[in-house]
A and B are shown apart, each in its own frame.
Chain A
């Protein structure tokens, strides 16, 4: 492989650093107007009436869009606008005007009569026998084949009383699975730890808010939106507006981050589309940071309790994990993934996961980079440290003892893994970070500063399969790799394309990546989420290029004689294996393909392709040699990647301030696709995790149910000065045997590694004390150091 594993300059780089790249809100269309949203001031309310007469009478105001004008959604699902807002900040209506300031002034003049309804911010409160429910219909949505409905789940007073002070009560769960016999596993253990943990909820806060602009031409919707995915977002928009895929043109070439919050664009993106249809003008809806804090999705917080049993040799005998998840206004359930990740990290001999996820009147949750995984890893890793201390085993060694290998398992069904080189990653990190010598610094005091060393092992899913690839070899001799995945800053559009280039042995200069605009004929692809694309689309592009290569071989054999198998490609030519002069250029071959027609130039296509890929290939038919194929490579077992983070901190015992001095992350993500890009993921995700562990907040006033962490400075994601200037990284680099390129996804596991390594290091600096909550801010640490009462109760959330 000539390109895979090499650093390249991605094709979007110059546009990005020079500011030429156009993001959703940079587009303008003839006659374009602006929309603004009216947000609910209450955490739960019913709109009794709306008086917009004054607003509509203002010069320049063009129209208003109400919730009842939107296509209907399932009762449990979120619509872009609502007359029964379920959280403070939920959009109620939108107003369009000739400019944004007029639209804003108009929104202010609309009189909405809200009837306040009971609200709840904390799932434990909703579990109380007399606690409020976040929705009038109940506090969770029960799904089953027989019938799905809203239901109410409550615990008894006895459940709460039984827990004891500061411990998570564990009433009846809504979901449960067991592997082995957990109680027996705990009984057999030489050491059992029982901890109550709190993980905060936190908003995604990508740099670019979820803006969108839309207009209609001849019944076709043109939508510019901030989205992680492209093909899947086109499908999402079509579904949301009840349109044929053909009637949606989606443009999203650049995306300023999503972290799981813009997988198929956003819920709000239909608002400019519908307003535009209503008033007959293109409509731009620029979402502000304030609005983004409400509608921008968030990672669900956990209130959890874990019992972990260990044999004296360090082997984990049992994990008994109970998670109460704050599902927000529209529900979420990533605690299941949390359980799977816990099982994978420590391979316990027995395990039970119980969980409850309830609605609360807080902004909607969604997957956030390592959903479920990042939370549980950040919470459990310091407890592993605690166990190591009590057992007298080196902390890294304890992880090594319990780590999965290729025979490892994950989740309730003890699912198999495609590969797991965790011990290799631990060993590599041990060397690279200098674990042994750094560990000796642990607890050393220099003035008021104490050194802490931490480690965080973080697995996450690393890929799916079964999507389509589509490449066109044109008469100009260039390979056009059509990518339906999105461009959210991970370089996937370029990195996965190189699988196709390598199959054909083509230099990168002769490859063009086509992406970000569904009118450019894109194949059906995975969502750009769940760390799927590296895996799924190196495979799909590999398959498409193999299809193209077969066609090249056939054309060469037909023209130059011999068997197709005798021909190989290199440097933009196809030539005979034994006689290099018996060759033709790709450009020539492309022209020949067009002449031959049929399956060579896309007029005939394989049966197993998705309808979207078929439509795209048909549109491209006749323009060159077309390679179009579904990824049918074998894929047995779950594909998981792993990152081990190592951190060294200095904790000031007089201020509680933590200074992160060193960070090293080592990955098992199969074959390394693109070193520089991998480093960006390991460090970028790591920093995001450090923010989770140390500073990022989600704060609500309990009386009013209103949010405060709605600005960067109050939400406090980490800044560049909060992390070391130089961070180290490494990768095991052993290819995954179940995928042709050998690469596994790596977007998500770095977050948990960053979070856990810091939490572990802080706990180490505190002499092994686990504060068992995130974020570990100065106040929490200082209260512990000074032996004062903690600023927040052991189960208190949204602080």
Chain B
């Protein structure tokens, strides 16, 4: 397998010019293997879930509304806009590679700018309007996460851990995609110096050959990584046991049952259907929606 594409520059120097497209196929294969492996594993080897009724009737259900808002309209709009941009980017990036040819460059960079705008909005929104710390991963979660993974792999009984607003795997996924997307966007913006856009004049020489090589490789790697990440994301979104989450990204809320089953009210306190304190980080949470609350206040 080839990892990199190299070329002789005009002075005959060997320079990196990007990733080899073998890596794209590798990413697809990794995605397929993961999805198929996970699906088979779950289907054949994982024990059945605890019956639903037990949870719903559990003692902690008291005072929890029927519907709990998980994603505000703005957050959902962001998610779907971002996903559209992402799909457009992936399609325009990789379809021509596999032989489906069309003028893709303009669509690609416009979609890239779209992605950048949604990401900027998301950053602003999550800092100003949401509790940015709800995405924080603390040591406790990590330890729990490790135990959960162990349990999953050893098939030693059902999950016992319950998450805050966002489960650990979601956070990890978010952070992975955040890093990869940021790299793709930053390198993509630089790459716009190599094509005609209204943003700035073309100048392929703003970076040295060597640096450009790094930019292209980073863009390429983040691009193919996004293939795998998106495959995994879509896969989980369509898994029946995750529909409640998928649905929440469509209609905004989750049911009490799902809340109680998957979330730890200590980490994601809910009052009147409105999420309140959400932070996993002691003493750090700027609380929102004008409700002064101790993070333990619900209890």
Q: Do A and B come from one complex?
A: yes
Question: A: which residues have CB within 8 A of B?
Answer: 41-42, 114, 116, 701, 703-704, 706
A-B contact pairs, 16 of them (CB 8 A): A41-B10, A41-B11, A41-B12, A42-B11, A42-B12, A114-B11, A114-B12, A114-B13, A116-B11, A116-B13, A701-B10, A703-B205, A704-B10, A704-B11, A706-B10, A706-B11
Which positions 12-41 of chain B face chain A at CB distance < 8 Å?
12-13
In the complex, A114 Cα to B10 Cα: how many Å? 13
- Closest chain A residue to B10, Cβ basis: A704
Q: How far is the CA of A455 from the CA of B10 in the complex (A)?
A: 44
Give the total number of A-B pairs whose CB atoms are below 8 A apart. 16
The docked-state distance in angstroms from the alpha carbon of A701 to that of B10 is 10
Chain B residue contacts of A42, Cβ below 8 A? 11-12
What is the CB-to-nearest-CB distance from B140 to chain A, in angstroms, rounded to a whole number?
55
B203 to chain A, nearest CB (A): 10
The 10 closest A-B pairs by CB, nearest first: A41-B12, A704-B10, A42-B11, A41-B11, A706-B10, A703-B205, A116-B11, A704-B11, A114-B12, A114-B11
Bound CA span A703–B203, Å: 12
User: Nearest chain A CB to B202's CB is how many angstroms away?
Assistant: 13
Using CB atoms, name the residue of chain B closest to A42.
B11
Contact with A along B164-208 (1 / 0, CB 8 A): 000000000000000000000000000000000000000001000
Chain A residues near B10 (CB-CB < 8 A): 41, 701, 704, 706
Query: CB-nearest residue of chain A relative to B205?
Result: A703
Q: Who on chain A is nearest to B204 by CB?
A: A703
Chain B nearest Cβ from A655, distance in angstroms: 28
Complex Cα spacing A116 to B10, Å:
12
- Residues on the B chain within 8 Å of A116, using CB: 11, 13
A187 to B205, CA, bound (A): 49
B294 to chain A, nearest CB (A): 63
Report the bound CA distance from A220 to B12 in whole Å: 40
Q: Tell me the minimal C-beta distance from B148 to chain A in angstroms.
A: 54
A706 to B8 CA separation, bound complex (whole angstroms): 14
Distance in angstroms from A93 CB to nearest chain B CB is: 14
Inter-chain pairs besides A41-B10, A42-B11, A42-B12, 13 sampled, C-beta below 8 Å: A41-B11, A41-B12, A114-B11, A114-B12, A114-B13, A116-B11, A116-B13, A701-B10, A703-B205, A704-B10, A704-B11, A706-B10, A706-B11
**A703 vs B205: C-alpha distance in the bound complex, in angstroms?**
9
Once bound together, how far apart are the Cα atoms of A41 and B13, in whole Å?
A: 9
Query: Which residues on the A side are within 8 Å of B11 (C-beta)?
Result: 41-42, 114, 116, 704, 706
Whole-angstrom distance from the CB of A362 to the nearest CB of chain B?
Answer: 16
List the B side residues contacting A41 at CB < 8 Å. 10-12
* Chain A residue nearest in CB terms to B12: A41
Residue of B nearest to A112 (CB): B12
Q: Within 8 Å CB of A703, what residues of B? A: 205
Closest B residue to A706 by beta carbon equals: B10
B12 CB to nearest A CB, Å = 4
CB distance from A88 to the nearest CB of B (A): 8
Considering the chains assembled together, what is the distance between the CA atoms of A450 and B34 in angstroms? 76
A704–B204 Cα gap in the complex (Å)? 13
Q: Measured between alpha carbons, how far is A704 from B209 in the docked complex, in Å? A: 12
Assembled-state Cα–Cα distance A636/B11 (Å): 54
Q: Considering only CB atoms, which chain B residue lies closest to A88 in the complex? A: B11
Please name all residues of chain A whose beta carbon is closer than 8 Å to the beta carbon of B12 when the two chains form the complex: 41-42, 114
CB of B31, distance to nearest CB on chain A (Å) = 40
Cβ contacts under 8 Å, B205 to chain A = 703
> 1/0 per position for B238-270, CB-CB distance to A under 8 A?
000000000000000000000000000000000
Shortest Cβ gap from B127 to chain A (Å)? 42
Q: How long is the Cα–Cα vector from A703 to B10 in the complex, in angstroms?
A: 10
Per the bound structure, the CA–CA distance linking A704 and B10 in Å amounts to 7
* Closest CB in chain B relative to A795 CB, distance in Å: 22
**What is the CB-to-nearest-CB distance from A759 to chain B, in angstroms, rounded to a whole number?**
34
Cα–Cα distance between A41 and B8 once the two chains are bound (Å)? 11
Segment 68-85 of B: residues with Cβ below 8 Å from A: none
Instruction: Determine the distance from Cα of A706 to Cα of B11 in the docked complex, in whole angstroms.
Output: 9
A6: min CB distance to chain B, Å: 56
> A727 to nearest B CB, angstroms?
42
**Distance (whole angstroms) from the CB of A60 to the closest CB of chain B:** 24
How many whole Å from A115's CB to the nearest CB in chain B? 11
CA distance A197 to B12 in the complex (A): 36
Residues of A within 8 A of B13 (CB): 114, 116
Q: Which residues of B contact A701 (CB under 8 A)?
A: 10
CB distance from A773 to the nearest CB of B (A): 26
Min C-beta distance of B210 to chain A, whole Å: 12
| Bound CA span A42–B9, Å | 11
Question: How distant is the Cα of A706 from the Cα of B9 in the complex, in angstroms?
Answer: 12
A114–B205 Cα distance when bound, in Å, is: 21
Contacts of A706 in B (CB 8 A): 10-11
Task: Give the docked Cα–Cα distance between A703 and B9 (Å).
Answer: 12
Name the CB-closest residue of A to B8. Answer: A41
CB distance from B107 to the nearest CB of A (A): 30
Complex Cα distance A298/B168, Å? 72
A42–B8 alpha-carbon span in the complex (Å): 12
How far, in whole Å, are A704 and B208 apart by their CA atoms in the complex? 12
In the bound assembly, the distance between CA atoms of A41 and B9 in angstroms comes to 10
Set of chain B residues within 8 Å of A114, measured between Cβ atoms: 11-13
Chain B contacts of A704 at CB under 8 A?
A: 10-11
- Which of B11, B12, B13 has the most C-beta atoms of chain A within 10 angstroms of its own C-beta? B11
How many Å from the CB of B160 to the closest CB on chain A?
Answer: 62
**What's the minimum C-beta distance from B211 to chain A, rounded to whole angstroms?**
15
In angstroms, how far is the closest chain B Cβ from the Cβ of A146? 40
- The closest CB in chain B to the CB of A703 belongs to B205
B61 to nearest A CB, angstroms?
A: 70
**A110 to chain B: closest CB distance in Å?**
11
Measured CB to CB, the closest approach of chain A to B235, in angstroms, equals 47
CA distance A704 to B11 in the complex (A): 7
A161 to B13, CA, bound (A): 38
Chain B residue nearest to A113 in the complex (CB): B13
Mark each residue of chain B from 137 to 149: 1 if its CB lies under 8 Å from any CB of chain A, else 0. Answer: 0000000000000
How far is it, in angstroms, between the C-alpha of A114 and the C-alpha of B12 when the chains are bound? Answer: 9
A42 to B10, CA, bound (A): 8
A130 to B11, CA, bound (A): 24
Cβ distance A104 to chain B, nearest Cβ, rounded Å: 16
Cβ distance B205 to chain A, nearest Cβ, rounded Å: 6
Question: Once bound together, how far apart are the Cα atoms of A131 and B13, in whole Å?
Answer: 25
Closest Cβ–Cβ distance, residue A113 to chain B (whole Å): 10
Give the distance in Å from the alpha carbon of A701 to the alpha carbon of B204 in the complex: 14
Bound CA–CA A630/B248 (angstroms): 109
| Bound: A706/B10 CA distance, A | 8
Q: Give A701 to B205 CA distance when docked, in angstroms.
A: 13
CA distance A701 to B13 in the complex (A): 17
Q: How far is the CA of A157 from the CA of B12 in the complex (A)?
A: 36
CB distance from B279 to the nearest CB of A (A): 53
Quote the shortest CB–CB distance from A38 to chain B (angstroms). 11
Q: Which of B120-169 contact A (CB under 8 A)?
A: none
Chain B residue nearest to A43 (CB atoms) is B11
Q: Which residue of B lies closest to A41 (CB)?
A: B12
Complex Cα gap A706–B12 (Å): 12
State in angstroms the CA–CA spacing of A449 and B11 once bound together. 46
Q: In the complex, how many angstroms separate the beta carbon of A392 from the nearest chain B beta carbon?
A: 48
A26 to chain B, nearest CB (A): 33
- Min CB distance, A486 to chain B, in Å? 37
How many whole Å from B9's CB to the nearest CB in chain A?
Answer: 8
Please give the distance in Å from B7's CB to the nearest CB on chain A. Answer: 13
Give chain A nearest CB distance to B162 CB in angstroms: 60
Task: State A701–B9 Cα separation when bound (angstroms).
Answer: 14
Please give the distance in Å from A594's CB to the nearest CB on chain B: 65
Smallest CB separation, A670 vs chain B (Å): 51
Encode B79-121 as 1/0 by CB contact (under 8 A) with A. Answer: 0000000000000000000000000000000000000000000
A49 to chain B, nearest CB (A): 14
Shortest Cβ distance from B196 into chain A, in angstroms? 19
- Distance between Cα atoms of A701 and B11 in the complex (Å): 12
Name the distance in Å between B68's Cβ and chain A's nearest Cβ.
Answer: 60
A416 to B10, CA, bound (A): 53
Please measure, in the bound complex, the distance between the C-alpha atom of A703 and the C-alpha atom of B209, giving whole angstroms.
12
- Nearest residue (CB) in A for B9 is A704
